[in-house]
C-alpha cells in the first residue's frame, strides 16, 4: 500500500536542511512576459480567437482605454491584485462588467507578479492566489487558465520564472551579493547556480510537469531550450540579475511551467542549489548566445522528462524512492491517456492523405 504523500512536506524538509546551514530562501514568481496586460475575448467564440479580438490594457493604466469593453476591467483588476490575494477577494466589478460576465472568458494573464519570502509561505501564497483567481473568475462567469500554451493563434506561452537568492536568518543581507563588489554573484551564488545547472534535466518533471509546458521551449522565444546561464540574458535558462556588488543580485530560473506544483518546483530548486553548495560546484562560463550555446538540451517532451527522472539518482536521494516512484506513476498514466487520444494534428496530417 502506497502511503499518503504530501508535496508540501518536500519543500518544508528542503527548507529545514537549508536552515541547518544558516541560510533561508527568498523566492519570487514571475510569469512569462512583461509589457502589456491582456486578454479578453467572448467565451462563445474561443475557436476564432486572434490577436485582433483581444483587448489589451496597459499595465500602468488607471482606467480602461477609450472604447474598451467593460470586460477588460476584470483583467486590469486581477493584474493589480495578483500580489495580494486579499485584494482579489475584495475586488468588485462595475455593473457593466457583471452584466457581460456570462458571455466573456478571461484568457491567461500576460504580465508579471511577485511573491517574496521564505520557501513554504511563498508556496502557499502562490497556490492560494492561483486558486483564488480561478474560483473568483468562475463565479463571475469567466475562465482563468494557467495552461502554458493554449491552442490559440498568435498566443504567447505562459511560464513561471522563479527568482532565487539566499540570506542569513534575521538579517536583510543577500548571500548572493559579492562582498568585494567585483562579480555579479558571490561564491555562494555561483555554487548555487552550478547546482541548478547540474540537475536541470532530471528536475524538468518538477519545473515543467505538463505536456504543453514543453512546447514553450523554442529558440528565440524568451523561453530556454537548453541548460545554459547568462548575465541579464532573457534567452538563457538561468539569468543572473544585478550589477557587480549589487545588494539585489539574484538568479532567475526561466524554465518553469505556469501550471507547475509550487511545492515541488521550489523544493527541487532548493535540493539542486544545496548540492551545489555542499560539493562546491563551479558553473561553466556564461553563454553570450544562449540559443547557440553548445549546452545540454532540455527535455523536448514530458516523456523525455519522465525518462530522465526515472534514471536519476540525485532526486531519489533528495526526495526518497517512494515519492519519486509515485510521481512517475502519475505521469506515466497521464502520458498513456494522451497517447490514446487522437489529436487535431493527426487528423490534419493523415485523414485526407490516407
Tens digit of each residue's pLDDT (9 = 90 or more) over 216-250: 888 878 889 999 999 998 889 999 999 998 888 99
Mean pLDDT in residue range 23-32: 46
* Least confident range of 150-159, 216-225, 271-280, 289-298: 150-159
Please, which pLDDT band fits residue 9 given cuts at 50, 70 and 90? low
Please, which pLDDT band fits residue 118 given cuts at 50, 70 and 90? very low
pLDDT at residue number 346: 93
Q: Is the pTM of this model over 0.75?
A: no
Please, which pLDDT band fits residue 111 given cuts at 50, 70 and 90? very low
Q: What is the largest CA-CA distance in the chain?
A: 68
pLDDT at residue number 331: 96
pLDDT at residue number 22: 64
Q: pLDDT > 90: what percent of the chain? A: 38
- Residue ranges of domains in the chain, CATH in brackets: 1-32+159-354 (3.30.590.10), 34-155 (no CATH)
Mean pLDDT in residue range 245-270: 91
Query: SS3 string of 163-232?
Result: EEEEECCCCCCECCCCCCCCCCCCHHHHHHHHHHHHCCCCCHHHHCCCCHHHHHCCCCCCCCCECCEEEC
Q: Dihedrals φ, ψ of 106, to 5°? A: -95, 120
The better pLDDT of the pair 292, 23 is held by 292
Q: How far apart are CA 265 and CA 127, in angstroms?
A: 12
Q: Is pLDDT at 79 greater than 80 in this prediction?
A: no
Residue from 185, 203, 175, 183 nearest 296 by CA: 203
Q: At how many degrees (to 10) do helices 72-81 and 119-139 cross?
A: 160
Amino acid at each position: 500500500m502506497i502511503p499518503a504523500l504530501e508535496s508540501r512536506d518536500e519543500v518544508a524538509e528542503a527548507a529545514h536542511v537549508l536552515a541547518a546551514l544558516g541560510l533561508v530562501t527568498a523566492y519570487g514568481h514571475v510569469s512569462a512576459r512583461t509589457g502589456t496586460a491582456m486578454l479578453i475575448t467572448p467565451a462563445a467564440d474561443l475557436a476564432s480567437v486572434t490577436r485582433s479580438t483581444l483587448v489589451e490594457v496597459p499595465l500602468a493604466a488607471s482606467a480602461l482605454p477609450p472604447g474598451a469593453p467593460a470586460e477588460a476591467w476584470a483583467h486590469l483588476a486581477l493584474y493589480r491584485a495578483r500580489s495580494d490575494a486579499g485584494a482579489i477577494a475584495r475586488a468588485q466589478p462595475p455593473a457593466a462588467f457583471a452584466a457581460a460576465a456570462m458571455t466573456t472568458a478571461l484568457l491567461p494573464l500576460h504580465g508579471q507578479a511577485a511573491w517574496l519570502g521564505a520557501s513554504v509561505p511563498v508556496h502557499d501564497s502562490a497556490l492560494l492566489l492561483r486558486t483564488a483567481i480561478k474560483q473568483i473568475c468562475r463565479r463571475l462567469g469567466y475562465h482563468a487558465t494557467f495552461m502554458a500554451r493554449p491552442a490559440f493563434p498568435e498566443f504567447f506561452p505562459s511560464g513561471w520564472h522563479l527568482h532565487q537568492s539566499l540570506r542569513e536568518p534575521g538579517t536583510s543581507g543577500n548571500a548572493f551579493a559579492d562582498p568585494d563588489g567585483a562579480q555579479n554573484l558571490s561564491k555562494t551564488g555561483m555554487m548555487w547556480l552550478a547546482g541548478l545547472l547540474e540537475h536541470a534535466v532530471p528536475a524538468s518533471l518538477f519545473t515543467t510537469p505538463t505536456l504543453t509546458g514543453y512546447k514553450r521551449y523554442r529558440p528565440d522565444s524568451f523561453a530556454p531550450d537548453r541548460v545554459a546561464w547568462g548575465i541579464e540574458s532573457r534567452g538563457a535558462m538561468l539569468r543572473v540579475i544585478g550589477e557587480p556588488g549589487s545588494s539585489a543580485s539574484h538568479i532567475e530560473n526561466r524554465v518553469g511551467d505556469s501550471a507547475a506544483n509550487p511545492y515541488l518546483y521550489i523544493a527541487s530548486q532548493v535540493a539542486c542549489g544545496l548540492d551545489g553548495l555542499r560539493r562546491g560546484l563551479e558553473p561553466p562560463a556564461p553563454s553570450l548566445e544562449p540559443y547557440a550555446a553548445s549546452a545540454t538540451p532540455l527535455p523536448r517532451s514530458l516523456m523525455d522528462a519522465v525518462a530522465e527522472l526515472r534514471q536519476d539518482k540525485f532526486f531519489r536521494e533528495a526526495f526518497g524512492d517512494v515519492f519519486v516512484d509515485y510521481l512517475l506513476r502519475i505521469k506515466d498514466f497521464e502520458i498513456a491517456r494522451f497517447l490514446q487520444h487522437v489529436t487535431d494534428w493527426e487528423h490534419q496530417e493523415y485523414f485526407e492523405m490516407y
